[in-house]
Structure 1
Amino acid sequence: MPLSPSQTRELLEQLGHRPRKQLGQNFLIDGNIVRKSLELANVSSGDHVVEIGPGLGTLTRALLEKGAIVHAVEFDPKLGDHIESIAQDEANLHLVKGDALDHPLGDLPSDIGDYKIVANLPYAISTPWMAVVLERQLPSVMTLMLQKEAAQRYAAKSGTKQFGAISIFLHAAFDILPGHDVSGSCFYPKPDVGSTLLHLRRKSDPYRFSPESSQLIRDIFQQRRKQIASLLRKSKSDTAKVWLGKLESVGIEPNARPEQIETKLWIALDKEQS
Protein backbone atom coordinates (compact mmCIF):
# COMPACT_ATOMS: atom_id res chain seq x y z
CA MET A 1 0.00 0.00 0.00
CA PRO A 2 1.19 3.58 -0.66
CA LEU A 3 2.35 5.66 2.24
CA SER A 4 -0.25 7.88 3.89
CA PRO A 5 0.31 11.66 3.90
CA SER A 6 1.67 11.50 7.45
CA GLN A 7 3.94 8.54 6.60
CA THR A 8 5.13 10.37 3.49
CA ARG A 9 5.98 13.48 5.50
CA GLU A 10 7.76 11.34 8.08
CA LEU A 11 9.86 9.52 5.49
CA LEU A 12 10.76 12.78 3.77
CA GLU A 13 11.89 14.18 7.13
CA GLN A 14 14.00 11.07 7.76
CA LEU A 15 15.63 11.54 4.36
CA GLY A 16 16.13 15.24 5.02
CA HIS A 17 14.31 16.03 1.81
CA ARG A 18 11.88 18.80 0.96
CA PRO A 19 9.76 18.22 -2.19
CA ARG A 20 11.08 20.35 -5.04
CA LYS A 21 8.26 22.04 -6.90
CA GLN A 22 10.41 22.82 -9.93
CA LEU A 23 10.97 19.08 -10.41
CA GLY A 24 7.29 18.23 -10.05
CA GLN A 25 7.89 16.19 -6.89
CA ASN A 26 4.37 15.27 -5.87
CA PHE A 27 4.29 11.83 -4.29
CA LEU A 28 1.40 9.44 -4.96
CA ILE A 29 -0.50 8.47 -1.79
CA ASP A 30 -3.59 6.81 -3.29
CA GLY A 31 -3.53 3.02 -3.57
CA ASN A 32 -6.39 2.95 -6.07
CA ILE A 33 -4.39 4.99 -8.56
CA VAL A 34 -1.37 2.72 -8.14
CA ARG A 35 -3.53 -0.35 -8.77
CA LYS A 36 -5.18 1.32 -11.77
CA SER A 37 -1.78 2.09 -13.30
CA LEU A 38 -0.67 -1.54 -13.06
CA GLU A 39 -4.04 -2.76 -14.30
CA LEU A 40 -3.99 -0.55 -17.40
CA ALA A 41 -0.44 -1.61 -18.23
CA ASN A 42 -1.35 -5.26 -17.55
CA VAL A 43 1.90 -5.72 -15.64
CA SER A 44 2.81 -9.39 -15.27
CA SER A 45 5.67 -11.33 -13.75
CA GLY A 46 8.80 -11.07 -15.87
CA ASP A 47 7.76 -7.87 -17.66
CA HIS A 48 10.52 -5.33 -18.15
CA VAL A 49 9.12 -1.98 -16.94
CA VAL A 50 10.77 1.44 -17.11
CA GLU A 51 9.86 3.86 -14.31
CA ILE A 52 10.86 7.52 -14.44
CA GLY A 53 11.15 9.40 -11.16
CA PRO A 54 10.39 6.63 -8.63
CA GLY A 55 10.61 9.14 -5.78
CA LEU A 56 9.81 7.33 -2.52
CA GLY A 57 9.23 4.01 -4.29
CA THR A 58 5.45 3.63 -3.96
CA LEU A 59 4.87 2.60 -7.58
CA THR A 60 8.23 0.81 -7.65
CA ARG A 61 7.27 -1.56 -4.84
CA ALA A 62 3.91 -2.31 -6.47
CA LEU A 63 5.66 -3.19 -9.74
CA LEU A 64 8.12 -5.46 -7.90
CA GLU A 65 5.27 -7.19 -6.07
CA LYS A 66 3.84 -8.05 -9.51
CA GLY A 67 7.13 -9.70 -10.41
CA ALA A 68 8.21 -7.02 -12.87
CA ILE A 69 11.86 -6.27 -13.64
CA VAL A 70 12.03 -2.54 -12.98
CA HIS A 71 14.46 -0.15 -14.68
CA ALA A 72 14.17 3.09 -12.72
CA VAL A 73 15.73 6.51 -13.27
CA GLU A 74 15.92 9.03 -10.42
CA PHE A 75 17.39 12.52 -10.80
CA ASP A 76 17.23 13.68 -7.19
CA PRO A 77 20.33 12.47 -5.25
CA LYS A 78 18.57 11.91 -1.90
CA LEU A 79 15.65 10.08 -3.46
CA GLY A 80 18.11 8.14 -5.59
CA ASP A 81 19.91 6.99 -2.44
CA HIS A 82 16.57 5.91 -0.97
CA ILE A 83 15.65 3.85 -4.05
CA GLU A 84 19.18 2.43 -4.07
CA SER A 85 18.60 1.16 -0.52
CA ILE A 86 15.49 -0.67 -1.77
CA ALA A 87 17.45 -2.10 -4.71
CA GLN A 88 19.93 -3.75 -2.36
CA ASP A 89 17.22 -6.23 -1.36
CA GLU A 90 15.52 -6.46 -4.76
CA ALA A 91 17.28 -8.32 -7.56
CA ASN A 92 14.62 -7.14 -10.02
CA LEU A 93 15.20 -3.44 -9.35
CA HIS A 94 17.82 -1.69 -11.48
CA LEU A 95 18.45 1.98 -10.76
CA VAL A 96 20.17 4.71 -12.74
CA LYS A 97 20.84 7.86 -10.72
CA GLY A 98 20.77 10.62 -13.29
CA ASP A 99 18.75 12.68 -15.73
CA ALA A 100 15.95 10.85 -17.56
CA LEU A 101 16.67 12.94 -20.66
CA ASP A 102 20.14 11.36 -20.74
CA HIS A 103 18.84 7.91 -19.67
CA PRO A 104 15.25 7.82 -21.01
CA LEU A 105 14.95 4.06 -20.51
CA GLY A 106 17.30 3.63 -17.57
CA ASP A 107 19.59 0.65 -18.01
CA LEU A 108 17.10 -1.29 -20.15
CA PRO A 109 19.19 -3.60 -22.37
CA SER A 110 19.00 -2.74 -26.06
CA ASP A 111 18.28 -6.37 -26.97
CA ILE A 112 15.09 -6.54 -24.87
CA GLY A 113 12.04 -7.24 -27.00
CA ASP A 114 8.86 -5.80 -25.60
CA TYR A 115 8.89 -3.58 -22.56
CA LYS A 116 6.48 -1.24 -20.81
CA ILE A 117 6.68 2.20 -19.24
CA VAL A 118 4.73 2.92 -16.06
CA ALA A 119 5.50 6.20 -14.35
CA ASN A 120 4.31 9.13 -12.30
CA LEU A 121 6.13 11.34 -14.77
CA PRO A 122 7.84 14.48 -13.44
CA TYR A 123 5.95 17.33 -15.07
CA ALA A 124 9.04 19.37 -15.96
CA ILE A 125 10.43 16.77 -18.38
CA SER A 126 7.34 15.05 -19.78
CA THR A 127 7.39 16.30 -23.39
CA PRO A 128 11.17 16.40 -24.03
CA TRP A 129 11.48 12.94 -22.43
CA MET A 130 8.66 11.60 -24.61
CA ALA A 131 10.33 12.99 -27.73
CA VAL A 132 13.52 11.06 -26.88
CA VAL A 133 11.60 7.83 -26.14
CA LEU A 134 9.88 8.02 -29.53
CA GLU A 135 13.30 7.87 -31.17
CA ARG A 136 14.10 4.57 -29.40
CA GLN A 137 12.54 1.12 -29.55
CA LEU A 138 8.87 1.76 -28.82
CA PRO A 139 7.33 0.25 -25.68
CA SER A 140 4.28 -1.97 -26.05
CA VAL A 141 2.44 0.07 -23.42
CA MET A 142 2.83 3.37 -21.62
CA THR A 143 0.74 4.21 -18.56
CA LEU A 144 1.68 7.69 -17.46
CA MET A 145 0.59 10.06 -14.73
CA LEU A 146 0.86 13.46 -16.37
CA GLN A 147 -0.01 17.07 -15.83
CA LYS A 148 -3.48 17.40 -17.31
CA GLU A 149 -2.31 19.99 -19.84
CA ALA A 150 0.39 17.63 -21.15
CA ALA A 151 -2.09 14.74 -21.37
CA GLN A 152 -4.43 16.93 -23.41
CA ARG A 153 -1.61 17.76 -25.84
CA TYR A 154 -0.70 14.10 -26.19
CA ALA A 155 -4.26 12.99 -26.89
CA ALA A 156 -5.30 16.03 -28.95
CA LYS A 157 -6.80 15.56 -32.40
CA SER A 158 -6.44 17.82 -35.42
CA GLY A 159 -8.55 20.94 -35.42
CA THR A 160 -8.01 21.65 -31.73
CA LYS A 161 -5.77 24.21 -30.07
CA GLN A 162 -3.87 21.49 -28.18
CA PHE A 163 -2.96 19.58 -31.37
CA GLY A 164 0.75 19.83 -32.10
CA ALA A 165 3.89 17.97 -33.11
CA ILE A 166 3.89 15.63 -30.09
CA SER A 167 0.24 14.77 -30.81
CA ILE A 168 1.17 13.72 -34.35
CA PHE A 169 4.14 11.61 -33.27
CA LEU A 170 2.12 9.79 -30.62
CA HIS A 171 -1.00 9.21 -32.74
CA ALA A 172 1.21 7.79 -35.50
CA ALA A 173 2.66 5.12 -33.22
CA PHE A 174 0.12 4.53 -30.42
CA ASP A 175 -3.55 4.12 -29.73
CA ILE A 176 -4.25 6.73 -27.07
CA LEU A 177 -6.99 5.41 -24.82
CA PRO A 178 -9.25 7.55 -22.62
CA GLY A 179 -7.45 9.02 -19.64
CA HIS A 180 -8.59 9.25 -16.04
CA ASP A 181 -8.50 12.61 -14.28
CA VAL A 182 -6.79 12.32 -10.90
CA SER A 183 -7.57 14.53 -7.92
CA GLY A 184 -4.80 16.59 -6.34
CA SER A 185 -5.67 14.92 -3.03
CA CYS A 186 -4.05 11.74 -4.38
CA PHE A 187 -0.62 13.39 -4.01
CA TYR A 188 1.56 14.86 -1.30
CA PRO A 189 2.14 17.73 -1.48
CA LYS A 190 -1.05 18.55 -3.37
CA PRO A 191 -0.10 19.89 -6.82
CA ASP A 192 -1.32 23.25 -8.11
CA VAL A 193 -2.33 21.69 -11.45
CA GLY A 194 -4.65 18.87 -12.45
CA SER A 195 -3.33 15.40 -13.31
CA THR A 196 -4.41 12.68 -15.73
CA LEU A 197 -3.57 8.98 -15.89
CA LEU A 198 -3.07 8.32 -19.61
CA HIS A 199 -2.85 4.91 -21.28
CA LEU A 200 -1.07 4.42 -24.61
CA ARG A 201 -0.89 1.13 -26.50
CA ARG A 202 1.49 0.62 -29.41
CA LYS A 203 -0.25 0.16 -32.76
CA SER A 204 0.20 -3.08 -34.66
CA ASP A 205 1.82 -1.01 -37.42
CA PRO A 206 3.39 1.97 -35.63
CA TYR A 207 4.76 4.75 -37.81
CA ARG A 208 7.80 6.79 -36.87
CA PHE A 209 8.91 9.94 -38.65
CA SER A 210 12.59 10.35 -39.43
CA PRO A 211 14.57 12.78 -37.24
CA GLU A 212 14.61 15.26 -40.15
CA SER A 213 10.85 15.04 -40.64
CA SER A 214 10.20 15.25 -36.91
CA GLN A 215 12.25 18.46 -36.66
CA LEU A 216 10.46 19.96 -39.65
CA ILE A 217 7.07 19.24 -38.08
CA ARG A 218 8.23 20.86 -34.82
CA ASP A 219 9.42 23.90 -36.74
CA ILE A 220 6.13 24.14 -38.63
CA PHE A 221 4.11 24.13 -35.43
CA GLN A 222 6.09 27.06 -34.11
CA GLN A 223 3.92 29.06 -36.53
CA ARG A 224 0.80 26.92 -36.39
CA ARG A 225 -1.56 29.68 -37.56
CA LYS A 226 0.19 30.19 -40.91
CA GLN A 227 -0.60 28.27 -44.09
CA ILE A 228 1.31 25.02 -44.61
CA ALA A 229 2.50 25.89 -48.14
CA SER A 230 3.89 29.22 -46.97
CA LEU A 231 5.74 27.57 -44.09
CA LEU A 232 7.26 24.92 -46.36
CA ARG A 233 8.41 27.55 -48.88
CA LYS A 234 10.22 29.48 -46.15
CA SER A 235 11.91 26.39 -44.70
CA LYS A 236 15.52 25.64 -45.64
CA SER A 237 14.92 21.91 -45.16
CA ASP A 238 15.30 19.62 -48.18
CA THR A 239 12.37 17.63 -46.80
CA ALA A 240 10.21 20.76 -46.92
CA LYS A 241 10.86 21.13 -50.65
CA VAL A 242 9.70 17.56 -51.26
CA TRP A 243 6.60 18.01 -49.11
CA LEU A 244 5.66 21.25 -50.83
CA GLY A 245 5.36 19.44 -54.15
CA LYS A 246 3.31 16.62 -52.64
CA LEU A 247 0.68 18.50 -50.62
CA GLU A 248 -2.29 18.24 -52.96
CA SER A 249 -1.45 14.70 -54.08
CA VAL A 250 -1.96 13.43 -50.51
CA GLY A 251 -5.09 15.52 -49.93
CA ILE A 252 -3.69 18.57 -48.11
CA GLU A 253 -4.90 22.00 -49.18
CA PRO A 254 -1.95 24.41 -49.55
CA ASN A 255 -3.80 27.03 -47.47
CA ALA A 256 -4.45 24.62 -44.58
CA ARG A 257 -2.99 25.49 -41.21
CA PRO A 258 -0.79 22.84 -39.52
CA GLU A 259 -3.28 22.24 -36.70
CA GLN A 260 -5.99 21.40 -39.27
CA ILE A 261 -4.02 18.57 -40.90
CA GLU A 262 -4.85 15.07 -39.62
CA THR A 263 -2.09 12.73 -38.48
CA LYS A 264 -2.78 10.29 -41.32
CA LEU A 265 -2.09 13.09 -43.82
CA TRP A 266 1.23 13.97 -42.17
CA ILE A 267 2.16 10.29 -42.46
CA ALA A 268 1.07 10.18 -46.12
CA LEU A 269 3.14 13.29 -46.81
CA ASP A 270 6.21 11.79 -45.16
CA LYS A 271 5.85 8.50 -47.04
CA GLU A 272 6.06 10.41 -50.32
CA GLN A 273 9.78 10.86 -49.68
CA SER A 274 10.52 7.17 -49.89
Structure 2
Amino acid sequence: MSKILSPTQTYHILEELNHQPNKKLGQNFLIDKNIVKKSLTLANVQPHDKVVEIGPGLGTLSSALLEANVLLYAVEKDSTLADYLSNTIKPNFPNNFHLLTADALDFPIATLPILYFDNFKIIANLPYAIATPWLDLILSGPLPISMTLMLQKEAADRFCAKEGSKSFGAISIFLSSAFKKSNEHKVSRHCFYPEPNVDSTLLHLEKLPNPFIFHPKTKELIRFFFTQRRKQIGSLIKQLPPSDNLTSWLNFLSSKKFPTTTRPEDLPIHMWQQLDFHLSV
Protein backbone atom coordinates (compact mmCIF):
# COMPACT_ATOMS: atom_id res chain seq x y z
CA MET A 1 0.00 0.00 0.00
CA SER A 2 1.16 3.53 -0.75
CA LYS A 3 2.79 5.51 2.02
CA ILE A 4 0.25 7.46 4.06
CA LEU A 5 1.00 11.13 4.54
CA SER A 6 1.83 12.08 8.12
CA PRO A 7 0.39 15.25 9.68
CA THR A 8 3.70 17.03 9.06
CA GLN A 9 3.85 15.91 5.43
CA THR A 10 0.23 16.90 4.90
CA TYR A 11 0.93 20.31 6.40
CA HIS A 12 3.96 20.84 4.16
CA ILE A 13 2.12 19.82 0.98
CA LEU A 14 -0.72 22.19 1.78
CA GLU A 15 1.83 24.91 2.52
CA GLU A 16 3.54 24.32 -0.83
CA LEU A 17 0.18 24.55 -2.52
CA ASN A 18 -0.53 27.74 -0.52
CA HIS A 19 -3.75 26.05 0.48
CA GLN A 20 -5.65 26.35 3.75
CA PRO A 21 -8.03 23.46 4.51
CA ASN A 22 -11.54 24.66 3.75
CA LYS A 23 -13.94 23.96 6.61
CA LYS A 24 -16.97 24.56 4.38
CA LEU A 25 -15.76 21.77 2.10
CA GLY A 26 -15.07 19.49 5.05
CA GLN A 27 -11.36 19.22 4.25
CA ASN A 28 -10.00 16.97 6.98
CA PHE A 29 -7.34 14.75 5.42
CA LEU A 30 -6.97 11.11 6.44
CA ILE A 31 -3.53 10.37 7.97
CA ASP A 32 -4.00 6.85 9.38
CA LYS A 33 -2.95 3.93 7.17
CA ASN A 34 -4.97 1.45 9.24
CA ILE A 35 -8.18 3.30 8.42
CA VAL A 36 -7.31 3.29 4.72
CA LYS A 37 -6.71 -0.47 4.89
CA LYS A 38 -9.95 -0.91 6.81
CA SER A 39 -11.86 0.98 4.11
CA LEU A 40 -10.56 -1.35 1.39
CA THR A 41 -11.25 -4.42 3.52
CA LEU A 42 -14.83 -3.44 4.35
CA ALA A 43 -15.48 -2.64 0.69
CA ASN A 44 -13.98 -6.00 -0.31
CA VAL A 45 -12.00 -4.24 -3.04
CA GLN A 46 -11.01 -6.52 -5.90
CA PRO A 47 -8.90 -5.91 -9.01
CA HIS A 48 -10.94 -4.32 -11.82
CA ASP A 49 -13.69 -3.09 -9.48
CA LYS A 50 -15.41 0.07 -10.68
CA VAL A 51 -15.23 2.59 -7.84
CA VAL A 52 -16.57 6.11 -7.32
CA GLU A 53 -14.77 8.37 -4.82
CA ILE A 54 -16.10 11.69 -3.55
CA GLY A 55 -13.62 14.38 -2.53
CA PRO A 56 -10.27 12.58 -2.94
CA GLY A 57 -8.39 15.52 -1.40
CA LEU A 58 -4.66 14.74 -1.39
CA GLY A 59 -5.27 11.27 -2.77
CA THR A 60 -4.50 9.05 0.23
CA LEU A 61 -7.46 6.74 -0.37
CA SER A 62 -7.25 7.19 -4.14
CA SER A 63 -3.67 5.91 -4.25
CA ALA A 64 -4.54 2.82 -2.22
CA LEU A 65 -7.50 2.06 -4.49
CA LEU A 66 -5.46 2.53 -7.65
CA GLU A 67 -2.70 0.31 -6.33
CA ALA A 68 -5.39 -2.33 -5.84
CA ASN A 69 -5.98 -2.04 -9.60
CA VAL A 70 -9.49 -0.63 -9.58
CA LEU A 71 -11.02 1.64 -12.19
CA LEU A 72 -11.50 4.84 -10.20
CA TYR A 73 -13.89 7.70 -10.99
CA ALA A 74 -13.41 10.61 -8.61
CA VAL A 75 -14.92 14.08 -8.28
CA GLU A 76 -13.10 16.90 -6.45
CA LYS A 77 -14.60 20.37 -6.06
CA ASP A 78 -11.40 22.12 -4.95
CA SER A 79 -9.48 23.03 -8.11
CA THR A 80 -6.16 23.35 -6.24
CA LEU A 81 -6.41 19.81 -4.93
CA ALA A 82 -7.66 18.52 -8.28
CA ASP A 83 -4.60 20.02 -9.98
CA TYR A 84 -2.37 18.42 -7.35
CA LEU A 85 -3.96 15.00 -8.00
CA SER A 86 -3.62 15.46 -11.76
CA ASN A 87 0.08 16.22 -11.38
CA THR A 88 1.00 13.59 -8.79
CA ILE A 89 -1.33 10.58 -9.09
CA LYS A 90 -2.77 10.72 -12.58
CA PRO A 91 0.64 10.20 -14.33
CA ASN A 92 1.13 6.92 -12.44
CA PHE A 93 -2.33 5.60 -13.31
CA PRO A 94 -3.23 7.27 -16.63
CA ASN A 95 -5.75 4.62 -17.67
CA ASN A 96 -7.39 3.89 -14.32
CA PHE A 97 -7.76 7.29 -12.69
CA HIS A 98 -10.61 9.43 -14.02
CA LEU A 99 -10.78 12.74 -12.15
CA LEU A 100 -13.46 15.37 -12.56
CA THR A 101 -13.14 18.87 -11.10
CA ALA A 102 -16.72 19.62 -10.09
CA ASP A 103 -19.29 19.65 -7.29
CA ALA A 104 -20.34 16.15 -6.19
CA LEU A 105 -23.91 17.44 -5.88
CA ASP A 106 -23.86 18.07 -9.63
CA PHE A 107 -22.00 14.82 -10.40
CA PRO A 108 -22.82 12.41 -7.55
CA ILE A 109 -21.19 9.45 -9.31
CA ALA A 110 -18.48 11.51 -11.04
CA THR A 111 -18.11 10.47 -14.69
CA LEU A 112 -18.95 6.81 -14.21
CA PRO A 113 -20.02 5.44 -17.62
CA ILE A 114 -23.54 4.05 -18.04
CA LEU A 115 -21.91 0.73 -18.87
CA TYR A 116 -21.03 0.30 -15.18
CA PHE A 117 -24.26 1.54 -13.60
CA ASP A 118 -25.29 -1.96 -12.50
CA ASN A 119 -21.98 -2.94 -10.93
CA PHE A 120 -20.03 -0.25 -9.10
CA LYS A 121 -18.98 0.61 -5.57
CA ILE A 122 -18.70 3.93 -3.75
CA ILE A 123 -15.82 4.42 -1.32
CA ALA A 124 -15.48 7.91 0.08
CA ASN A 125 -14.55 10.19 2.96
CA LEU A 126 -17.67 12.33 2.72
CA PRO A 127 -17.57 16.04 3.53
CA TYR A 128 -20.13 16.60 6.28
CA ALA A 129 -21.82 19.55 4.57
CA ILE A 130 -22.89 17.50 1.54
CA ALA A 131 -23.35 14.06 3.12
CA THR A 132 -27.17 14.12 3.30
CA PRO A 133 -28.00 15.84 -0.03
CA TRP A 134 -25.39 13.73 -1.86
CA LEU A 135 -26.75 10.49 -0.39
CA ASP A 136 -30.28 11.58 -1.29
CA LEU A 137 -29.14 11.88 -4.91
CA ILE A 138 -27.47 8.47 -4.83
CA LEU A 139 -30.65 6.88 -3.49
CA SER A 140 -32.52 8.10 -6.56
CA GLY A 141 -30.39 5.68 -8.62
CA PRO A 142 -28.41 4.21 -10.18
CA LEU A 143 -27.60 2.35 -6.99
CA PRO A 144 -24.10 1.04 -6.23
CA ILE A 145 -23.73 -2.56 -5.07
CA SER A 146 -22.12 -1.22 -1.90
CA MET A 147 -21.04 2.00 -0.20
CA THR A 148 -18.17 2.37 2.25
CA LEU A 149 -18.45 5.85 3.69
CA MET A 150 -16.45 7.84 6.21
CA LEU A 151 -18.96 10.05 8.00
CA GLN A 152 -19.15 12.16 11.10
CA LYS A 153 -20.64 9.94 13.79
CA GLU A 154 -23.82 12.03 14.06
CA ALA A 155 -24.50 11.63 10.34
CA ALA A 156 -23.87 7.88 10.42
CA ASP A 157 -26.24 7.50 13.38
CA ARG A 158 -28.92 9.50 11.56
CA PHE A 159 -28.55 7.59 8.30
CA CYS A 160 -29.03 4.22 10.01
CA ALA A 161 -31.54 5.28 12.66
CA LYS A 162 -34.59 3.12 13.36
CA GLU A 163 -38.15 4.26 13.86
CA GLY A 164 -38.91 5.49 17.35
CA SER A 165 -35.53 7.16 17.79
CA LYS A 166 -34.81 10.88 17.80
CA SER A 167 -32.38 10.48 14.89
CA PHE A 168 -34.92 8.76 12.62
CA GLY A 169 -35.84 10.90 9.64
CA ALA A 170 -36.43 11.05 5.91
CA ILE A 171 -32.88 10.05 4.93
CA SER A 172 -33.08 7.06 7.30
CA ILE A 173 -36.18 5.87 5.44
CA PHE A 174 -34.70 6.33 1.98
CA LEU A 175 -31.43 4.61 2.88
CA SER A 176 -32.86 1.65 4.79
CA SER A 177 -35.26 0.97 1.93
CA ALA A 178 -32.37 0.31 -0.45
CA PHE A 179 -29.37 -0.70 1.68
CA LYS A 180 -28.52 -2.64 4.81
CA LYS A 181 -25.73 -1.78 7.23
CA SER A 182 -23.34 -4.73 7.26
CA ASN A 183 -20.50 -3.21 9.28
CA GLU A 184 -19.23 -0.07 10.96
CA HIS A 185 -15.97 1.01 12.52
CA LYS A 186 -15.36 3.87 14.95
CA VAL A 187 -12.73 6.35 13.77
CA SER A 188 -11.05 8.79 16.14
CA ARG A 189 -10.75 12.47 15.25
CA HIS A 190 -6.99 11.98 15.67
CA CYS A 191 -6.93 10.10 12.35
CA PHE A 192 -7.36 13.36 10.43
CA TYR A 193 -5.48 16.57 9.73
CA PRO A 194 -6.59 19.12 10.64
CA GLU A 195 -8.29 17.36 13.53
CA PRO A 196 -12.10 17.81 13.44
CA ASN A 197 -14.13 18.50 16.56
CA VAL A 198 -15.97 15.16 16.47
CA ASP A 199 -15.24 11.48 15.90
CA SER A 200 -16.25 9.66 12.75
CA THR A 201 -17.72 6.34 11.68
CA LEU A 202 -16.62 4.17 8.77
CA LEU A 203 -19.90 2.73 7.55
CA HIS A 204 -20.30 -0.16 5.12
CA LEU A 205 -23.65 -0.56 3.35
CA GLU A 206 -24.76 -3.27 0.95
CA LYS A 207 -27.57 -2.99 -1.57
CA LEU A 208 -30.67 -5.01 -0.70
CA PRO A 209 -31.73 -7.82 -3.07
CA ASN A 210 -34.87 -5.81 -3.90
CA PRO A 211 -34.07 -2.17 -3.19
CA PHE A 212 -36.95 0.28 -2.92
CA ILE A 213 -36.54 3.67 -4.58
CA PHE A 214 -39.09 6.34 -3.65
CA HIS A 215 -40.63 8.59 -6.27
CA PRO A 216 -39.50 12.24 -6.04
CA LYS A 217 -42.96 13.49 -5.00
CA THR A 218 -43.13 10.94 -2.19
CA LYS A 219 -39.67 11.95 -0.96
CA GLU A 220 -40.74 15.58 -0.90
CA LEU A 221 -43.82 14.70 1.15
CA ILE A 222 -41.86 12.56 3.62
CA ARG A 223 -39.39 15.41 4.13
CA PHE A 224 -42.36 17.67 4.88
CA PHE A 225 -43.64 15.28 7.55
CA PHE A 226 -40.26 15.28 9.28
CA THR A 227 -39.97 19.05 9.39
CA GLN A 228 -42.63 18.76 12.10
CA ARG A 229 -41.70 15.33 13.41
CA ARG A 230 -43.48 15.67 16.78
CA LYS A 231 -46.85 16.45 15.21
CA GLN A 232 -49.33 13.70 14.48
CA ILE A 233 -49.71 12.28 10.97
CA GLY A 234 -53.38 13.24 10.82
CA SER A 235 -52.67 16.87 11.81
CA LEU A 236 -49.88 17.15 9.25
CA ILE A 237 -52.07 15.86 6.43
CA LYS A 238 -54.71 18.49 7.27
CA GLN A 239 -52.09 21.12 6.32
CA LEU A 240 -52.00 19.70 2.78
CA PRO A 241 -54.50 20.05 -0.07
CA PRO A 242 -57.27 17.39 0.02
CA SER A 243 -56.10 14.14 -1.56
CA ASP A 244 -57.88 10.83 -2.06
CA ASN A 245 -54.47 9.13 -2.19
CA LEU A 246 -53.48 10.44 1.24
CA THR A 247 -56.88 9.53 2.67
CA SER A 248 -56.44 6.02 1.30
CA TRP A 249 -53.01 5.82 2.94
CA LEU A 250 -54.41 7.01 6.28
CA ASN A 251 -57.12 4.35 6.10
CA PHE A 252 -54.48 1.74 5.33
CA LEU A 253 -52.42 2.86 8.33
CA SER A 254 -55.46 2.61 10.58
CA SER A 255 -56.13 -0.92 9.33
CA LYS A 256 -52.59 -1.81 10.41
CA LYS A 257 -53.07 -0.35 13.91
CA PHE A 258 -51.34 2.97 13.19
CA PRO A 259 -53.94 5.67 14.04
CA THR A 260 -53.84 9.24 12.79
CA THR A 261 -52.30 10.22 16.13
CA THR A 262 -49.06 8.40 15.19
CA ARG A 263 -46.03 10.68 14.86
CA PRO A 264 -43.76 10.45 11.78
CA GLU A 265 -40.79 9.21 13.82
CA ASP A 266 -42.85 6.24 15.09
CA LEU A 267 -44.01 4.98 11.70
CA PRO A 268 -42.06 1.95 10.37
CA ILE A 269 -40.23 2.14 7.07
CA HIS A 270 -42.56 -0.26 5.24
CA MET A 271 -45.47 2.05 6.03
CA TRP A 272 -43.65 4.92 4.35
CA GLN A 273 -43.17 2.66 1.34
CA GLN A 274 -46.93 2.18 1.35
CA LEU A 275 -47.28 5.95 1.02
CA ASP A 276 -45.31 5.71 -2.21
CA PHE A 277 -47.61 2.95 -3.47
CA HIS A 278 -50.76 4.91 -2.61
CA LEU A 279 -49.49 8.09 -4.27
CA SER A 280 -48.69 6.11 -7.42
CA VAL A 281 -52.24 4.80 -7.86
Match of 2:275 among 256, 269, 272: 269
Counterpart of 1:72 in structure 2 is: 74
Match of 2:99 among 95, 98, 104: 95
Q: Is the 8 A contact 1:251 1:265 kept in 2?
A: no
Q: Unpaired runs of 5+ in structure 1?
A: none
Q: Is the 8 A contact 1:250 1:269 kept in 2?
A: no
CA distance in 2, matches of 1:228, 1:111: 42
TM-score by length of 1: 0.96
Q: CA shift at 1:237, angstroms?
A: 7.8
Aligned length: 274
Name the stretch that deviates more: 221-230 or 263-272. Answer: 263-272
In the superposition, relative to structure 1, how do residues 83 and 251 fare at CA in structure 2: closer, same or farther (>3 Å)?
Answer: farther
**SS of the residue 1:144 aligns to:** strand
Aligned runs of 1:104-123 on 2, under 5 Å?
A: 104-112=108-116, 113-123=118-128
**SS of the residue 1:247 aligns to:** helix
Q: Is the 8 A contact 2:249 2:274 kept in 1?
A: no
Query: What amino acid does structure 1 have at the position aligned with 2:190?
Result: S
Q: Is the 8 A contact 1:243 1:270 kept in 2?
A: no
Q: Is the 8 A contact 1:232 1:244 kept in 2?
A: no
Counterpart of 2:259 in structure 1 is: 253
**SS of the residue 1:111 aligns to:** helix
**SS of the residue 1:88 aligns to:** helix
Aligned runs of 1:24-63 on 2, under 5 Å?
A: 24-63=26-65
Q: CA shift at 1:155, angstroms?
A: 0.9
Q: CA shift at 1:186, angstroms?
A: 0.4
Displacement over 4 Å in runs of 4+: none
Q: Is the 8 A contact 2:218 2:275 kept in 1?
A: no
CA distance in 1, matches of 2:240, 2:115: 38
TM-score by length of 2: 0.93
Query: What amino acid does structure 2 have at the position aligned with 1:111?
Result: L
CA deviations over 1:40-83 (Å, ceiling 9, x no partner): 11111111111000000000000101111111000011001111
**SS of the residue 1:71 aligns to:** strand
CA RMSD, Structure 1 to Structure 2 (Å): 1.5
CA distance in 2, matches of 1:235, 1:98: 38
Name the stretch that deviates more: 117-126 or 246-255. Answer: 246-255
Q: Is the 8 A contact 1:121 1:146 kept in 2?
A: yes
CA distance in 2, matches of 1:10, 1:45: 32
Query: What amino acid does structure 2 have at the position aligned with 1:172?
Result: S
Give the fraction of aligned pairs with identical amino acids, expressed as a percent: 52
Query: What amino acid does structure 2 have at the position aligned with 1:224?
Result: R
Is it true that 1:201 corresponds to 2:212 in the alignment?
Answer: no
CA distance in 1, matches of 2:237, 2:183: 34
